[in-house]
């Protein structure tokens, strides 16, 4: 689809959502100048779409009351993509809102499909199985929280939130939100918490209200919201603090110890070391229990040194003894 035509259709979708949209807002959403917005609006009028121009300080464009788009038409590939997306999104926690919303959306799409295609898609969805069940139930935020937060991120607007921490404490906070991140069935916002004077990460499902405040802010240059969330999760206080040195790169180590679990820093080569020798990395992580680490370290199949805690050395030695004992056993009979 040609880009100008795609923008005209996007303009129609924005107007279809209701209310008056200012020319400057539409120009910002479409990434064009205001003159181009007026030209796109005229193209819709030429297509007999009842776009009305509203004058005044808060004027702009709106659709005439009662106007509705024609029925949705999807190709086989498009219908399959949408329905599978709803199934996968609901299962992984990427679908905001309730399960009911996903089910009703899928039902509406099925109703407008031809009988032949509907039967084939029902057969697929009825036979579809996943081999990797989610480790924990998804915690999906309400659209009334997710949508205004995403809008504040996009337009760099401060927000006021009501937040309930994991220990049940409630507070009201003022944030400069940098980004919304979905990770492992959870939704997070990383932000400057003006109430605490530091950058923080908040779970969206623990936010009960979002109010957009006046003004705007400038995010720090080069900020990476996803990396901030992963680092925040990896540094949450736990019972044990573990420090290791492992031979390998951060990419190799993260195959078994993901960024949400461990912080990996590649170490410089010592003076005079063979430049072809494999580099070592320092690995730091926090955990409530240590009993799962020996098996993970064994699966890396790389030399490692345990710096702390001493308790982990004993667990690794016991794990190695159990493996050696199993390997020495003779088969029955």
Question: Which residues, 6+ apart, have CB-to-CB distance to 206 below 8 Å?
Answer: 163, 164, 165, 166
- Residue ranges of alpha helices (H) inside the chain are 3-16, 23-30, 34-46, 76-92, 99-111, 115-127, 143-155, 225-234, 250-253, 293-300, 310-328
Integer Cα distance of 222 and 323 in angstroms = 47
Q: Is the pLDDT of residue 272 over 60?
A: no
Residues 224 and 148 in one domain: yes
The mean-pLDDT minimum among 100-114, 127-141, 163-177 falls in: 127-141
Q: Is residue 136 included in any domain, yes or no?
A: no
pLDDT of the residue at 186:
78
Is residue 71 domain-resident? no
Task: Provide the domain count of the chain.
Answer: 4
| CATH number of the domain where residue 213 is located | 2.30.30.520
Q: Which domain holds residue 249?
A: 240-327
Same domain, 244 and 319: yes
At which of 35, 63, 91 does a domain end? 63
CA dist 219 and 214 (Å) reads 16
> What are the pLDDT digits (tens) for 120-159?
777 776 766 666 555 555 667 777 888 889 889 999 999 9
pLDDT at 78 over 90: no
Strand partners, 189: 180, 202
| Edge-to-edge strands, sheet with 304-308 | 262-266, 280-287, 240-247, 304-308
pLDDT of residue 1: 43
Q: How far apart are CA 255 and CA 115, in angstroms?
A: 45
Query: What is the reported pLDDT for 2?
Result: 47
Residue 70 lies in a domain: no
Judgement on whether residues 121 and 162 belong to the same structural domain of the protein: no
3-state helix, strand, coil in the chain (%, to 5): 40, 25, 35
User: 164 and 215 share a domain?
Assistant: yes
Are 149 and 197 found together in one domain?
yes
**CA–CA separation, 157 vs 175, rounded Å?**
9
> Could you tell me what percent of the chain has a pLDDT over 70?
81
In a domain, 134, yes or no: no
pTM higher than 0.85, yes or no?
no
173 HSE (CA, 13 A, CB side): 24
- In terms of domains, do 306 and 261 share one? yes
Residues 6+ apart with CB under 8 A from 172: 160, 161, 162, 163, 195
Q: Is residue 133 part of a domain?
A: no
Q: Which two tokens stand for residue 325?
A: 């004992």
Is residue 228 located within the same domain as residue 148?
yes
């Amino acid at each position: 689809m040609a880009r100008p035509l795609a923008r005209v259709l996007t303009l129609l979708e924005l107007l279809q959502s209701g209310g008056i949209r200012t020319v400057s807002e539409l120009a910002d959403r479409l990434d064009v100048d205001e003159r181009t917005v007026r030209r796109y609006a005229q193209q819709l009028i030429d297509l007999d779409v009842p776009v009305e121009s509203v004058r005044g300080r808060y004027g702009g464009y709106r659709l005439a009351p009662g106007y509705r788009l024609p029925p949705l038409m999807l190709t086989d590939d498009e219908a399959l993509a949408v329905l599978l997306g709803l199934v996968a999104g609901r299962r992984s926690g990427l679908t905001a809102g309730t399960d009911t919303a996903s089910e009703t959306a899928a039902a509406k799409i099925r109703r407008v499909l031809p009988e032949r295609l509907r039967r084939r898609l029902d057969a697929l969805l009825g036979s579809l199985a996943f081999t990797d069940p989610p480790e924990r139930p998804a915690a999906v935020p309400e659209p009334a929280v997710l949508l205004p937060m995403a809008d504040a991120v996009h337009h760099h607007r401060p927000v006021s939130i009501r937040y309930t921490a994991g220990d049940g404490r409630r507070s009201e906070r003022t944030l400069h939100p940098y980004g919304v991140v979905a990770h492992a069935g959870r939704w997070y916002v990383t932000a400057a918490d003006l109430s605490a004077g530091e950058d923080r990460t908040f779970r969206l499902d623990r936010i009960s209200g979002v109010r957009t405040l006046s003004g705007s802010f400038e995010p720090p240059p080069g900020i990476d919201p996803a990396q901030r969330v992963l680092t925040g999760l990896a540094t949450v206080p736990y019972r044990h603090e573990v420090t290791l040195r492992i031979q390998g790169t951060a990419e190799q180590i993260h195959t078994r110890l993901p960024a949400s679990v461990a912080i990996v820093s590649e170490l410089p080569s010592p003076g005079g070391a063979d430049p072809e020798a494999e580099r070592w990395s320092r690995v730091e992580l926090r955990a409530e229990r240590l009993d799962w680490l020996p098996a993970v370290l064994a699966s890396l199949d790389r030399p490692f040194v345990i710096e702390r805690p001493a308790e982990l050395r004993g667990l690794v030695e016991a794990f190695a003894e159990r493996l050696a004992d199993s390997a020495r056993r003779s088969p029955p009979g």
